[in-house]
Structure 1
Amino acid sequence: MYQQFLLNLLISVLWVFLKDEDSLRVPTLLSGFLIGIFILFIMHRFFGTPFYLKRVFSIVKLLFVFNYELFASSLLIMKQILLPSTTFEPGVLLYKTKLQSDWEVTALALLIILTPGSVVLRISPEGNVLTIHAMDVKDSKLMLLKSIRMYEKVILEVSRP
């Protein structure tokens, strides 16, 4: 991935030199970068790795998914806090994840912690079972499990080609 990006930068710099302009201009550099993307897309199968922008799009998708889940869970938590008639049923959930590497499990745990209403209490020594505390198990359990599955799916897209 990094080699493809560096090669794309090299193509954009070469494009600037080939344009034979007096000064370095951003539009010329940008057009060279876009030409480099096109060239690398055509030739990426010869590198033996997937096209590098696929991973970049996956990272952007992860950010959008996190922001959506953050907003949705924040609304649920605000509803639970602002409505005095609501009774809370805090609880602990065990979730067996299909993520394997330390980086993937850590990213999942951090995303769960950053989502309001849930905290990862413990990760098993094997790294495949997360103990999660939810603020209200009755109302938010299904939403939390849906969020975790979505996080897992996007983390797999980012970490595995």
Structure 2
Amino acid sequence: MKRILPQPLMSLCLWLGWLLLAQSLAPGDLLLGAVLALALPLWTVRFWTEPARIRRPHLLLPYLAVLLWDITLANLIVARLILGPVRCLRPAFIRVPLDLDSDLAIVVLAHTLSLTPGTVSIHLSPDRRVLLIHALDVEDQADLVARIKQRYEQPLKEIFAC
């Protein structure tokens, strides 16, 4: 079964993602999504350094709820910064020390930060211990690092059991 379906969770996510993008449950879309969801993991399995293992999947829903809330709030804040009265932005490059051991958890954290408007992940140190990010408006760098570690990194450590 591992040879046919090397990453079952990835296949499920790909198939559901395809259906969401297609916005259709037509038989052709269901079939094409299933073919892609089965084929893509087979084609990419050799690039995966470690299998995707989510140790506590029940924690994914609260994490996604926090992420969606933060994305919504960040959109409003960035819109206010851009469309509001002219003010001096305080952009900054910030080094976030990482306590994550799993490559997948680090990737999820980096993508989480890039999905949140106003921040973008830029570079991961070769030893995978520091993530460099850019933030649009930073009042206190230490506070931002603490919030990232508390809101995102700590839940990811629990989800992936790092």
Matched, 1:73 2:64: no
Compute the TM-score of the two structures, normalised by the length of structure 1.
0.60
Q: State the partner residue of 1:115.
A: 116
Report the 3-state secondary structure (helix = DSSP H, G, I; strand = E; otherwise coil) of the residue aligned with 1:120.
Answer: strand
**Residue type of the alignment partner of 2:133:** I
**Residue type of the alignment partner of 1:58:** L
CA distance in 2, matches of 1:140, 1:72: 19
Matched, 1:99 2:110: no
**Residue type of the alignment partner of 1:135:** L
| 1:12-161 superposed matches below 5 A | 55-138=56-139, 142=143, 145-160=146-161
CA distance in 1, matches of 2:152, 2:92: 21
Q: Which runs of 5+ in 2 are unaligned?
A: 1-54
Report the 3-state secondary structure (helix = DSSP H, G, I; strand = E; otherwise coil) of the residue aligned with 1:119.
Answer: strand
Distance 1:108 1:119, change over 3 A: same
Compute the TM-score of the two structures, normalised by the length of structure 2.
0.59
Distance 1:108 1:159, change over 3 A: same
Could you say which structure has the larger radius of gyration? Answer: 1
Aligned residues: 108
Distance 1:145 1:116, change over 3 A: farther
Report the 3-state secondary structure (helix = DSSP H, G, I; strand = E; otherwise coil) of the residue aligned with 1:137.
Answer: coil
Q: What are the Cα deviations for residues 13-65 of structure 1, in whole angstroms up to 9, with x where unaligned? A: xxxxxxxxxxxxxxxxxxxxxxxxxxxxxxxxxxxxxxxxx823201111111
CA distance in 2, matches of 1:97, 1:90: 21
Instruction: Give how far 1:130 is off.
Output: 0.6
Which of 55-64 and 112-121 deviates more?
55-64
Q: What are the Cα deviations for residues 83-108 of structure 1, in whole angstroms up to 9, with x where unaligned? A: 12321121100110111121111110
Does the Cα contact within 8 Å between 1:99 and 1:105 map onto a contact in 2?
yes
RMSD: 2.3
Q: Which runs of 5+ in 1 are unaligned?
A: 1-53
CA distance in 1, matches of 2:161, 2:90: 37
Aligned-pair identity in percent equals: 29
CA distance in 1, matches of 2:155, 2:161: 10
**4+ runs deviating over 4 angstroms:** none
CA distance in 1, matches of 2:131, 2:78: 22
Greater fraction helix? 1
Does the Cα contact within 8 Å between 1:112 and 1:118 map onto a contact in 2?
yes
Does the Cα contact within 8 Å between 1:134 and 1:140 map onto a contact in 2?
no
Distance 1:85 1:141, change over 3 A: farther
